[in-house]
A and B are shown apart, each in its own frame.
Chain A
């Protein structure tokens, strides 16, 4: 186990290095620079700016400098937002994105699993159809449309919630719902199909034959196995929700990190691009590792140190 985790950590470092390198070079290949604007700068001023931000150095010096900065966890100043460093931006933006993401994940998992189980238990009866209609809607309606709908009906028409912004708990509900809709639908379908599969297994029949009640069978024997695919899905989902929150953050005016992930590229804000990419990459790599480890715990059939003979 320790060996496995050690190996994985090593791979993570290599992936991270590859990501950083690729981002660095792609970013520099892209035309334009952070000082591009409608009103072109006098060349002397541009030279000054380049010197100030170290852009006049040869690429290998900049690359090296950058690697050192990452190791020190100091990403430097933002090119565009003169009053903030990249560390400030991450420190201020991430907790908000994380809060939104956590709320959305909670909603997605809670309702997704609930709907999926109901649908499977009442297979081909009205609760199944209702749950699956909800799920199809959830999957097919893009989050930005869902967001607008929620704003229009729940906020403007019914006056239950504020339209946008990130202040009180009430402000967080609509964006979390909008963000949760698609993964919730996905989880519902995932749970339903794996639940149906599990329910047709021999051991469930055995349990029924033993005279156990439907409730005990479901909770004790079925759900546990049926949830495995859902757990697998959690890693990519966590990453997806965190990085994919851009649209929702934009619509609801939420000061999260998602917006910087996208706008920094348009701004050619080199330091922010690198900082946010590195940060998200670490997050993604760690969440995948955690899920893999968790998976091994839940399903004893899966050996983490797999591939080794005789173990």
Chain B
């Protein structure tokens, strides 16, 4: 702007030397005005201290209650979609969980509680659920009806709407057929008995169905608004109606989202916060600095991220909160290529690493060493796992056995092995540590290979790798989340080429078993089969780490790593 002004003046210079003096004055004035701008900067700095902390202090004085109930958090990035049927990522989920309410809601105890549903009846064979809705309103005053749920679920299942998370609804009878175009939406097991009653028929008994109804793909949509305006979810405003504790007031893309308390919410008395500002800062160092400078009330997981380098210092200062969540960081083996088509070689590699050392020195987030696949929050036995960590002797035994089976004399005869991961500093450090452990403990040379995320995922899905990094987070609180991906060799998320008849049978048995304890045991047996064959080498169970303002209380972070601000307040 001003810059082009400069250039324009410069063009004048070329015209005639004789105009010199005039132009000199002009040029000088440019310099002076620049100096002026600078001095303005400085003056402005002195006059006004930190704008944000100033605001907060001011509000304190005039607030009705003594403390302003305004929360500022970071959600890292722009949520790709705030339409419950289109959302498919953690960031969108974080926003939707505050603004909408499903039939159930996962509360502080980690269990689903009745939310939009006032009463839930389950048939004896556990396949028919009848939900009676409580009297509740959308943020624009429309009543929340059973039709809103039917509309939302069928919208997601409708193949024309390209919902990428529609498979979350496949537990409902006819859901998969309708979504893949093999059946009709009318045959899906969702029935509206009356305005307040919804009957859902499931494909199989699904013991975790009430966990699912809290998930964002199962949230209702105000059918009146959505039918009138297809693009209702594109921006904040009167069309963006929701039925949860908060309602979206502002959505500045890539910048921030502002939520306000939803006065129409049925449980509005419980909600203390008057507003939540969600910033989209994608730099962990900045996030922590903002917290330190009073510009944020919370830094780190679940919605944001802390810099790895700062973990130790924050721990020493006693500010860091750590909570384990249902998620696993593991290395998958491609069981279709040498040498990992040999189970003993796989086991040798899995036994030869020191997980605790990686956690203490590399990740530094108090993670739990994983020697099992299903996280301890679902299987408490997983804290110990199926084998000891860092068992070098056993590893060497397995290695010898494996080499013999392959007809090799020595580790040097193993085919060249490469370890793949997607480009990121964190993954790289772990890979380097493991590379070193394999070299020291097994004498195997492994090369590292990193590729950018989209390329990497493509390689993993097409089995174009030998050992590859993968993480997995549970969508709902049930072990099946961590097991069913290994059911079929060509199932989308298997990535190992491994399958086992025994494992498949156990999973099939678990889906028809109505007794929760018997089912739990079946799934444990399945996990055992998986660990016996070791197509995947567990490394650690995820934790979440965060730092927050001391006066902020009762933010609920569930075992799945989801955050809820419904009960949050400042003291």
Which residues in A have some Cβ–Cβ distance to B below 8 Å? 30-33, 35-42, 44-45, 48-49, 52, 80-84, 88-89, 92-93, 102, 105-106, 109-111, 114, 148, 151-152, 155-156, 159-166, 168-170, 173, 216, 219-220, 223-224, 227, 231, 234, 250-253, 255, 259-260, 266-268, 290, 294, 297-300
CB distance from A217 to the nearest CB of B (A): 11
Choose among A42, A49, A93 the residue that contacts B167 (Cβ–Cβ < 8 A). Answer: A42
Flag if A299 contacts B14 (CB, 8 Å): yes
Determine the chain A residues whose CB is within 8 A of the CB of B28 once the complex forms.
219
Flag if A40 contacts B493 (CB, 8 Å): yes
Flag if B281 contacts A165 (CB, 8 Å): yes
- Residue ID in chain B nearest A167 by CB atoms: B51
Flag if B11 contacts A81 (CB, 8 Å): no
Flag if B293 contacts A156 (CB, 8 Å): yes
Flag if A109 contacts B453 (CB, 8 Å): no
Q: How far is the CA of A235 from the CA of B233 in the complex (A)?
A: 41
Determine the chain B residues whose CB is within 8 A of the CB of A80 once the complex forms.
80
Flag if A162 contacts B461 (CB, 8 Å): no
Q: How far is the CA of A165 from the CA of B51 in the complex (A)?
A: 12
Q: How far is the CA of A255 from the CA of B48 in the complex (A)?
A: 24
Flag if A298 contacts B11 (CB, 8 Å): yes
- Secondary structure type dominating chain A contacts: helix
Q: How far is the CA of A49 from the CA of B88 in the complex (A)?
A: 14
- Residue ID in chain A nearest B423 by CB atoms: A266
Interface size range on B against A: 35 or more
Flag if B492 contacts A41 (CB, 8 Å): yes
Q: How far is the CA of A160 from the CA of B49 in the complex (A)?
A: 6
- Residue ID in chain A nearest B53 by CB atoms: A159
- Residue ID in chain A nearest B176 by CB atoms: A42
Determine the chain B residues whose CB is within 8 A of the CB of A165 once the complex forms.
255-256, 279, 281, 290, 295
Which segment, of B37-45, B514-522, B542-550, B561-569, faces chain A?
Answer: B37-45
Which segment, of B141-149, B158-166, B409-417, faces chain A?
Answer: B158-166
- Residue ID in chain B nearest A53 by CB atoms: B162
Flag if A31 contacts B455 (CB, 8 Å): yes
- Residue ID in chain A nearest B30 by CB atoms: A110
Determine the chain B residues whose CB is within 8 A of the CB of A266 once the complex forms.
452-454
Which segment, of B2-10, B113-121, B441-449, B527-535, faces chain A?
Answer: B2-10
Q: Which of B14, B31, B37, B455 has the most CB of A within 10 A?
A: B14
Determine the chain A residues whose CB is within 8 A of the CB of B160 once the complex forms.
48
Flag if B289 contacts A151 (CB, 8 Å): yes
Query: Is B234 close to A, CB under 8 A?
Result: yes
Choose among B21, B282, B454 the residue that contacts A36 (Cβ–Cβ < 8 A). Answer: B454
- Residue ID in chain A nearest B88 by CB atoms: A37
Q: How far is the CA of A239 from the CA of B54 in the complex (A)?
A: 37
Choose among A88, A219, A260 the residue that contacts B27 (Cβ–Cβ < 8 A). Answer: A219
Flag if A253 contacts B293 (CB, 8 Å): no
Flag if A31 contacts B458 (CB, 8 Å): yes
Flag if B289 contacts A163 (CB, 8 Å): yes
- Residue ID in chain B nearest A176 by CB atoms: B41
Flag if A162 contacts B20 (CB, 8 Å): no
- Residue ID in chain A nearest B492 by CB atoms: A40
Can you list 23 contacts pairing A with B, beta carbon distance less than 8 Å? A31-B459, A32-B454, A40-B492, A82-B86, A88-B253, A102-B1, A110-B31, A151-B286, A156-B293, A159-B50, A159-B293, A163-B289, A163-B290, A163-B293, A164-B281, A164-B290, A165-B255, A165-B279, A165-B290, A173-B41, A220-B20, A231-B10, A267-B454
